[in-house]
Structure 1
Amino acid sequence: MRLVLLVLPIALLAGVGRAAEPKPSPAYEHCLASPGGTSTVGMVACANMELEAQNARLNRAYQGAMSRLRLPRQKAALQKAQRAWIAFRDADCASQEDSEWSKLKQISANDCVLSRTIQRADELEKFRQAQ
């Protein structure tokens, strides 16, 4: 048996496995650009509004993905993965926030939850679409 090494340019490998940057809704961008959206309180309010919308989108995407599965074991596997993902998202983003840290760190933690939620909704919307 002969081993053949395949050498790929680093530029080609750089994009492998990378997801596109999560994109919030235009309503979120508009909220942040509004006069009230530039303050810390305004940013938090805008993020909360967007997170509510993205959570609804995530739930719709999850239900859609579940409906595309036929077998109970497939549904159980997706349910297990989703529960693990929620636990990871919440724990990882919570690690970025502490009451002793600045308000900017709290905004960063909120952004973490929002970005991860958008990304997961994107993934679930594509889940088994081609099959």
Structure 2
Amino acid sequence: MLCVVLSACSDDNTEPTKKTEYTVTEFASTTIPETIPAEGGAYTMTFTTRTETRSQPVVPVFEPWQYRVTLGEAVGDAIAVTEPKTEVSVVIGSNYSKEPRAVVVEMAVTEDAATPPGGFGSSRLNRNLP
């Protein structure tokens, strides 16, 4: 009689890596036109969220992110987004001068509510005022 016993074991004594689901936000669209009228206006930016499964020991469920609006030379304050959103409102003031003014909306992923370590510019949306 032949008896075979097979067993599997690991000799590194490490725990298996946990998998965590992240909610990731991505830019989808905007109502900001290519050329913004002189009187400015209120516009929206829409976002989609998707779930990614990542293998890391301890991670947050939602990736916080920030956005800011730059009008010409005036750089706006960063606005932290700490929970899932599908839309944000952006108000662009009037520009009755003859000089064009660039409008830049920048987004960046952060690890917390602090300024992103790599700075802004992960995603950029450029528009011009006449």
Range into which the TM-score falls when normalised by the shorter chain: under 0.3
Greater radius of gyration (CA):
2
Larger RCO (CA within 8 A; separation ≥ 6): 1
The structure with the greater share of residues assigned to strand is 2
TM-score (ref. length: structure 2): 0.26
